[in-house]
Structure 1
Amino acid sequence: MSGSPPPEERATADAEARAKEHAEQAALPYRWDQTIKDLDITISIDAKYKGKDVHVSISRNALKAGIRGQDPVIDGQLPHAIRVDESTWTLSPTAAGKDIEIHLDKQNQLEWWPHVITSAPKIDTSKIQPETSKLGDLDGETRGMVEKMMFDQRQKEAGKPTSDEQKKLDILEQFKKQHPEMDFSNAKMG
């Protein structure tokens, strides 16, 4: 098993990966953002278009959006299911024209999406840093699970034990103190 690269090399590789990912995402004909619960997509169009010119089709596992009579801007399978009844789209004026704004409500509200549609370039979901205020929107149990997942992810990246592994280590330490007569020199944690 090879050791991990020195921190400088890892930082350079991370920066290069982030730059490549940023360039891929910037090249998409739409912008998108997500929270743990939902996903928002923005497609900028010319101001001359009206709502009747826009075609948006949202289904549980697919999305198609664009201007009627033209190739769709987005057309493909979603990486995960959505709640169709909670998903919407609107047409909003902007300084430069209009935006088609699509809101998708995730079916599983505990996962980050690597892309909007499966044919698009992926982002590294392990690097997502959710806003604390967004975590506050979650109910207590869900928030606890998300915070634990985030803590465990950071621990793994740092080569440290996850919360469950730490709990086992703490129990073992407590047991050792209660039983000093026992030899734990060959004990293995699995």
Structure 2
Amino acid sequence: MSTSPTPSEQKRADEEAKAREEAEQAALPYKWTQTIKDVDITIEIDGKFKGKDLDIKIGKESLKAAIKGGEVFIDGPLPKQIRVDESTWTLVSTSNGKEVSIHLDKVNQMEWWPHVVTNAPKIDVQKIQPENSKLGDLDGETRSMVEKMMFDQAQKEKGLPTSEEQKKVDMLKKFQEQHPEMDFSNAKMG
């Protein structure tokens, strides 16, 4: 019989998992960030390289970024499909060389990616905290759906009812108030 970890054990396990995840991500030859709608990747390269020296292939379900005949930074299948026509790459000079910037536009703009390519280490998408300012960028319907998902996730973590479950409880309570003559003592929810 397994027992649930104590809050301090859980906190330590979460911290260890976060540290391991950060170390795995830091070891990658690129950095990446994402919003619910897109993924941005940056790769620092030597300043001597030009665009023609690069081998960058953005496919609907795959990504490759390499120096022709040299180092491969990313090469593998994407976790989900992207819009190739809306995805781009650029090469810009920086203070310590050059940087390849790759922008991928997600087809499904309602989910987080655990990694850029499936052969890279995963991040825990359950721990992603979307910035509230980014929620403001979403249209009204999408924003309310994301806020509902975030509320329901927070409720589940606290062991409380989700918005749908709460709606059922409220409806039953209202019905009971309207029909005091009925006995609801053996009523089961679910």
Distance 1:4 1:181, change over 3 A: farther
**3-state DSSP of counterpart to 1:172:** helix
* Displacement of 1:172: 1.2
Give 1:24-43 correspondences, 5 Å limit.
24-43=24-43
Q: 1:13 is matched with which residue?
A: 13
Q: Deviations over 1:14-33 (max 9, x none)?
A: 11111111111111111000
Task: Kindly state the Cα deviation for residue 186 of structure 1 after the two structures are TM-superposed.
Answer: 2.1
**Structure 1 segments (4+ residues) deviating >6 Å:** none
Task: Point out where structure 2 has 5 or more consecutive residues left out of the alignment.
Answer: none
Tell me the distance in 2 between the aligned counterparts of 1:183 and 1:4.
38
Tell me, in whole angstroms, the C-alpha distance in 2 between the residues paired with 1:27 and 1:183: 63
Which residue is 2:80 aligned to?
A: 80
Match of 1:97 in 2: 97
Q: Are the aligned partners of 1:40 and 1:103 in contact in 2 as well (CA < 8 Å)?
A: yes
Residue 61, structure 1, aligned to residue 61, structure 2:
yes
Aligned to 1:138: 138
Distance 1:28 1:158, change over 3 A: same
Q: How many angstroms does 1:166 deviate by?
A: 0.8
Gap change, CA 1:4 and 1:161, over 3 Å in 2: farther
Residues 60-86 of structure 1, C-alpha deviation per residue, up to 9 Å, x if partnerless?
Answer: 000000111114210000000000000
Classify the secondary structure of the residue corresponding to 2:15: helix
Per the alignment, residue 47 of structure 1 pairs with 47
Q: State TM-score, norm by structure 1.
A: 0.95
Task: Name 1:175's counterpart in structure 2.
Answer: 175
User: What RMSD in Å do the two structures reach over aligned CA positions?
Assistant: 1.4
Shift of 1:184: 2.1
CA–CA distance in 2 between the matches of 1:171 and 1:180? 14
The residue type equivalent to 1:120 in the other structure is: A
Residue-by-residue CA offset, 1:76-108 (whole Å, 9 max, x unaligned): 000000000000000111111111000000000
Classify the secondary structure of the residue corresponding to 2:180. Answer: coil
CA contact (8 A) 1:126 1:153 kept: no
Quote how far apart the aligned CAs of 1:3 are. Answer: 5.9
Structure 1 unmatched runs, 5+: none
**SS at 2:64 equivalent:** strand
Task: Calculate percent identity across the aligned residue pairs.
Answer: 69
TM-score under structure 2 length normalisation: 0.95
Query: In structure 1, how many angstroms separate the alpha carbons of the residues matched to 2:189 and 2:123?
Result: 34
Report the residue type matching 2:121 in the other structure.
P
